[in-house]
Amino acid sequence: MIAGGGPAGCATALALRIHAPELSVALIEQTSYRSIRPGEVLPGAARSLLDCLHVWPGFERHAWRSVYATAAAWGSPVVSENHSLYATAGNGWHLDRARFDLFLAEEANARGVTVYLGKSLQRADKTDDGWSVVTSGNVASGDLRLRARFLADATGRAATIARGLGGSVVSLDALTGFSRFFPADEDSDPHTLIESVPDGWWYTAALSDNRRVVTLMADADIARPRRLDREPGWRKALSETMLMKTLAPAAEALGEVVRPAGSAYLNEPCGDSWIAAGDACCAHDPLSGQGITRALRSGIMAAYAIVDTLCKNSPLGMKRYRHLIRHGWSGYLSARNRFYAEERRWPGSLFWQRRQGTLKR
């Protein structure tokens, strides 16, 4: 049973159907994919993962917005561009994230995964032969009881299963995203634009459903006194930017989302008959633009570990998974530190001191 129907959970389910079709796989998702979901950037490198999951043809049939360049005012007021036209992996895409996650869940369902929507994990009790799981639902769908030999935790940063089993999440920072979504024209600037500011950084992207997302990333304690979760505070911060204010519409937002976006990892990514994937295992700073890709990859690797455990009675898959996750986290931290070190214009800023090791204690 897989808890969580985002990219990591769906990738785990799809990979299991491909590599162990004899297994019965259930996926529970607490939403119906109708509300706005943050996380919109999918780089070209993800194509090989979608291919691996046999969903690339279906992905191509959707009208995702292609993106060929990222522009950034980072470390300098001068904007520099990184064009994917010259990248081996090719162009990336800006997604309607809720529609993308629903697409993956529908693909899993079409391949024999039992998908339960509107269900959230209530409890999971260890039994002699696996797990007894209780989920809660709305009045119409009611509670659900399942028995499973193995649990996959793809519940995002909440890491519901892992925490319930005594695991702990180690957070490196309190980065928080303050996003607003606006209507946008079809010919809206397709770039991903990033702009650093004294108290954090902004990004904007034109999405596939004629919407534009505009997001400020700042630490929670810095954002709180500025009331960035409220329209006036957010607009005031926007007015202080050089580039972002020229792209953010003056119109009323279609919706807003405030969500944690810091770097965090689970102290133990897997255990006896359970495994964590995606943000439940390692949550990455959105600056990397690799969140969805890493979630898909970890879901695929989690499926390999599950197959080794259930079908081959071998502990090697879990050992390999633990090693790959820790190795990947180490590489991510090196890249994160390198990118943040490039911005040296505000040495007195608490936000940048925290990320450049210059904070006085």
Alpha-carbon gap, residue 134 to 152, rounded angstroms: 15
Q: Which of 299, 320, 313 is nearest to 25 (CA)?
A: 299
Phi/psi at 179 (5° precision):
-105, 145
- How many angstroms separate the CA atoms of 144 and 131, rounded? 14
The DSSP bridge pattern shows strands 151-153 and 2-3 to be parallel
- Residues 48, 60: contact at Cβ < 8 Å? no
In this prediction, residue 206 carries a pLDDT of: 86
Q: Average pLDDT for residues 203-213, to the nearest whole number?
A: 86
Average pLDDT for 194-218 = 92
More confident residue, 358 or 352: 352
Q: By three-state DSSP, how is residue 295 classified?
A: helix
pLDDT of res. 94: 87
Q: Are 30 and 119 in contact (CB under 8 A)?
A: yes
Look at residue 208 in the predicted model and tell me its pLDDT. 77
Span 35-85, pLDDT tens digits = 888 888 899 989 999 999 999 999 999 988 888 888 899 999 999 887 654
Nearest to 270 by CA among 326, 313, 329: 326
pLDDT at 115: 96
Quick one: pLDDT at residue 143?
A: 78
d(CA 142, CA 135): 9
Tell me the two tokens of residue 326: 């820790």
Summarize the confidence of residues 235-259 as an average pLDDT.
Answer: 91
Say what percent of the chain tops pLDDT 90: 73
Q: Residue 168: name the closest of 267, 316, 272 by CA.
A: 267
Q: Return the ∠ at Cα 156 (arms to 122 and 191), rounded to 5°.
A: 150
Looking at residue 267, its pLDDT comes to 94
The DSSP bridge partners found for residue 92 are: 67
Structure-model confidence comparison of residues 238 and 250, the more confident one: 238
Tell me the helices (H) and strands (E) count for the chain, helix number first.
11, 22
- Bridge partners for 111 per DSSP: none
CATH superfamily of the 2-64+96-171+262-335 domain: FAD/NAD(P)-binding domain (3.50.50.60)
Confidence of residue 361 (pLDDT cuts 50, 70, 90): very low
Position 144 scores a pLDDT of 85
Confidence category of residue 15, pLDDT binned at 50, 70, 90: very high
> Cβ–Cβ contacts within 10 Å for residue 246, how many?
10
What are the extents of the domains in the chain? 2-64+96-171+262-335, 175-260
Which residue, chain included where needed, has tokens 């917005």? 65
* 128 vs 307 pLDDT, higher one: 307
pLDDT at 261 over 50: yes
Question: How many Å apart are CA 175 and CA 188, to the nearest integer?
Answer: 28
CB atoms within 10 A of CB 29: 24
Whole-prediction pTM value? Answer: 0.93
pLDDT at residue 140 in the model: 55
Q: Is the pLDDT of residue 359 over 60?
A: no
Q: Residues of the chain with pLDDT > 70: what percent?
A: 94
pLDDT score, position 290: 86
Read off φ and ψ for residue 109, nearest 5 degrees. Answer: -60, -40
Mean pLDDT on 199-224: 92
Run of H or E including 297: helix 291-311
- Mean pLDDT taken over the chain: 91
**Which token pair is 180?**
């607003």
List, in order, residues 6 or more apart from 229 with CB less than 8 Å away.
178, 223, 258
Say whether pLDDT at 326 is over 90. yes
Could you tell me the fold of the domain covering 175-260? D-Amino Acid Oxidase; Chain A, domain 2 (3.30.9)
Q: For 117-146, what is the mean pLDDT?
A: 84
